[in-house]
Amino acid sequence: MLQENLTVSEIKARTEEENRANFLLTVRRNYVPILLGLIILLAFSLRIYDITGNPPGLNQDEAVNGVDAYSLGQTLRDHHGNFLPALLESFEDWASSLLTYLTVPFVWVLGLSEFSVRLPVVLLGTASVPLMFLYVRKLTGQTNLGLLASFLLGIMPWNIMASRFAIPPHSLVFFLLLLLYVNVRVGPTEKKLWKFGAIGALAALVTYSYSTQKMFIPLLLGVFFIADIFNNIPPKLFIKKYLVIGGTFLALTSPIYLLTLIDPGKYNARFTAVSIFSQYQNPTIEILTRYLNYFNPIRIFDGPNTFIFLVIFHYLGIAGCIFRVIYREPFFNILNKSQAVLLLGWWLVTPVAASLTIDPYISSRVIHGFPLVIIFSVLGFAIVCDPLKTRFKKFPKFELTFYLIVVAFSVYFLVVFYSTYSNLYKTSTRATYQYGVPQFSQFLVQHKTEFDTVTVDSHINQPYIYYLFYSKEDPHQYNYSEITFPQNGQDNIRGIPRLDNYIYAKVDPETVAGADELLTVKDEDGTAWYKVFAKDRHWYVQMLNKTDYEPPY
């Protein structure tokens, strides 16, 4: 064998070439975890960036979530004094409690702040991305579809916004995907009872996430039941499986269902206020109209927050599932019949709860159906791509090229959305997120020794909760008798009349005539939102951009 005589530079060049080849080989072998890791990093970045600045302000529902988490962490009671409540009294609407309990450790460790309150939904939204990958890969058996689905979820506008706004329904998607993944992992031959119990327990957990889930999850478990019929499970095992699932679910959710049955006027107050039955004696047509409205493609795909190019693939995916159920030898073999039934059933029961309310369309009430837009879309990609991939065998990179085009379109729509979200959305939603309330609340806390009383304009939505949030008053010192809403019908929606030395009442120009102006809260555009005045040791907070709402006190 001849010994090569290489110069130092040639040896160095060859070594670099070998290292480059080894690196590319490593990337090729591990492209799935690398790509998934990059997708997760992108998803986290989109959710965590400027999390305390956009949304602009702190919505009252976020504030009460933080205050209750703060109180539960120290006293095991919510801010009304209820011990470890299954439902949170909140603003007398008895809100779902899952997100608040999840927020407790964040507030405990990081303190009560906008960041600690929003961080849990940031992490849940980010964690839903790898869950989508696992679920779609298990569902279809195709890793590339799993990666594409996780990428789409990571950059989907509705999921980004939900992961930055800490209200109860925005904890839902993660736990729903976890439930669906565990369900698909527990195959038709599974015999271990604890795995069936895990399905029931996760279903119960989702039920605690948002009020619509009290109806949706039992319907979804019914869909699981019907889908499993097509799996040819032995009858005894089938019965045992659903007895365990149903028993676990009922045992864990019995507190909220029993409370609703025992005192529906109290614990079902929110639904009663928005129920379609409160306005119509025979609302059959209205219910059907609302139900169908939730399938309207304009509702799903219209506007800057949607990826309009997905529409054809979305409906192709739905059609593929329908054909998979109807025909014995369908052209669409990615899913088995049971899986197709499950997806279609999930799709059909999604709007049921929302259609029973007076509002024609509220997106948060059907957020549990939003992941289906992505799942049906990637199935549509497969329906288009797989036959073409076979046809264009001379073009080995066809599938990669097809998916890169999808990614390119997605990135374009992401840039369009994020530009809108960072600018127009931030400026146009200031009233929704009560922009300016945190600023004057912090100012009052800093100067609390300089006034005997402060009258805060009761046009503000639930102003008392901001005092509790920013004062960080010891929950052991809460005066529960003062945190009681006036019993005067719907007029109590804006808050309570007094808490400590804070009075909540109308503050008109006549009220502050002759007072000294201490603070003006302005936004970046120079628009004034609130002013703080002083008359001796009596201070006033006036809201400048008022709505037509007239407070009762």
| Listed residue (109, 105, 111, 117) closest to 66, CA to CA | 117
Could you tell me the pLDDT band of residue 493, with boundaries at 50, 70 and 90?
very low
Tokens of 22: 């080894």
117 assigned to some structural domain: no
The pLDDT, as a whole number, for residue 393 is 66
For 376-405, the pLDDT digits (tens) are 999 999 998 877 766 666 566 777 888 899
354 or 28: whose pLDDT is higher? Answer: 354
Do 298 and 402 reside in the same domain of the chain? yes
What is the number of structural domains in the chain?
Answer: 3
- Strands 538-543 and 528-535, how do they pair? antiparallel
Do 292 and 388 reside in the same domain of the chain? yes
Do 534 and 509 reside in the same domain of the chain? yes
The pLDDT, as a whole number, for residue 19 is 64
Do 237 and 354 reside in the same domain of the chain? no
173 assigned to some structural domain: yes
The pLDDT, as a whole number, for residue 281 is 78
Tokens 């604890």 -> residue = 194
219 assigned to some structural domain: yes
Tokens of 233: 């499970």
Q: Which of 274, 290, 312 is the last residue before a domain boundary?
A: 274
Do 354 and 419 reside in the same domain of the chain? yes
For 9-22, the pLDDT digits (tens) are 766 766 766 666 56
Residue 305 has pLDDT above 80, yes or no: no
The pLDDT, as a whole number, for residue 205 is 98
The pLDDT, as a whole number, for residue 299 is 80
Residue 215 has pLDDT above 50, yes or no: yes
Tokens 């990637």 -> residue = 378
8 Å CB contact between 385 and 402: yes
The pLDDT, as a whole number, for residue 350 is 97
Residue 487 has pLDDT above 80, yes or no: no
8 Å CB contact between 367 and 173: yes
Query: In the chain, pLDDT over 70 holds for what percent of residues?
Result: 89
| Listed residue (399, 377, 379, 378) closest to 388, CA to CA | 399
| Listed residue (124, 121, 112, 132) closest to 39, CA to CA | 132
Query: In the chain, pLDDT over 90 holds for what percent of residues?
Result: 72
| Listed residue (490, 489, 180) closest to 339, CA to CA | 180
CB atoms within 10 A of CB 240: 15
Do 300 and 391 reside in the same domain of the chain? yes
Angstrom distance (rounded) from CA 349 to CA 347: 6
Do 213 and 255 reside in the same domain of the chain? yes
The pLDDT, as a whole number, for residue 547 is 60
CB atoms within 10 A of CB 184: 17
CA 485 centroid distance within chain: 28
Lowest mean pLDDT segment, chosen from 127-141, 317-331, 479-493: 479-493
The pLDDT, as a whole number, for residue 143 is 93
Tokens of 398: 């066809």
Burial 462-489 (b: 16+ CB within 10 A, else e): bbbbbbbbbbebebeebeeeebebeeee
Do 466 and 534 reside in the same domain of the chain? yes
Do 510 and 397 reside in the same domain of the chain? no
327 assigned to some structural domain: yes
Q: Which of 274, 292, 312 is the last residue before a domain boundary?
A: 274
Amino acid (1-letter code) at residue 507:
V
Contacts of 411 (CB under 8 A, 6+ apart): 155
Give the CA dihedral 361, 367, 372, 374, nearest 10 degrees.
100
494 or 416: whose pLDDT is higher? Answer: 416
| 216: helix, strand or coil | helix
Lowest mean pLDDT segment, chosen from 176-190, 249-263, 477-491, 503-517: 477-491
The pLDDT, as a whole number, for residue 394 is 59
| Listed residue (104, 99, 105, 101) closest to 121, CA to CA | 99
Do 413 and 485 reside in the same domain of the chain? no
Average pLDDT of the segment spanning 367-375: 95
Q: Which of 274, 306, 340 is the last residue before a domain boundary?
A: 274
Do 368 and 417 reside in the same domain of the chain? yes
Angstrom distance (rounded) from CA 312 to CA 319: 11
The pLDDT, as a whole number, for residue 549 is 45
Contacts of 123 (CB under 8 A, 6+ apart): none
Lowest mean pLDDT segment, chosen from 53-67, 174-188, 276-290: 276-290
75 assigned to some structural domain: no
Residue 348 has pLDDT above 50, yes or no: yes
The pLDDT, as a whole number, for residue 272 is 81
The pLDDT, as a whole number, for residue 468 is 97
Could you tell me the pLDDT band of residue 494, with boundaries at 50, 70 and 90?
low
8 Å CB contact between 496 and 279: no
The pLDDT, as a whole number, for residue 553 is 39
Average pLDDT of the segment spanning 48-53: 95
For 417-460, the pLDDT digits (tens) are 988 888 888 888 999 999 999 999 999 999 999 999 999 999 99
Do 453 and 409 reside in the same domain of the chain? no
8 Å CB contact between 495 and 462: yes
8 assigned to some structural domain: no
| 133: helix, strand or coil | helix
132 assigned to some structural domain: no
Average pLDDT of the segment spanning 359-379: 93
SS3 sequence of 31-91: HHHHHHHHHHHHHHHHHHCCCCCCCCCCCHHHHHHHHHHHHHHHHCECCCCCECCCEECCC
Angstrom distance (rounded) from CA 170 to CA 209: 8
8 Å CB contact between 146 and 134: yes
| Domain limits for position 217 | 167-274
- Strands 453-457 and 502-505, how do they pair? parallel
Average pLDDT of the segment spanning 129-139: 97
311 assigned to some structural domain: yes
Residue 210 has pLDDT above 50, yes or no: yes
DSSP state letters, 482-524:
TS---SSGGGGGG--SEETTEEEE---TTTTTTPEEEEEEE-T
Sign of CA dihedral 6, 7, 10, 16: positive
Contacts of 168 (CB under 8 A, 6+ apart): 61, 65, 95, 96, 98, 99, 100, 209, 210, 211
Tell me the Cα Rg of the chain. Answer: 27
**What mean pLDDT, rounded, does the chain reach?**
90
The pLDDT, as a whole number, for residue 43 is 98
Residue 545 has pLDDT above 70, yes or no: yes
Could you tell me the pLDDT band of residue 2, with boundaries at 50, 70 and 90?
very low
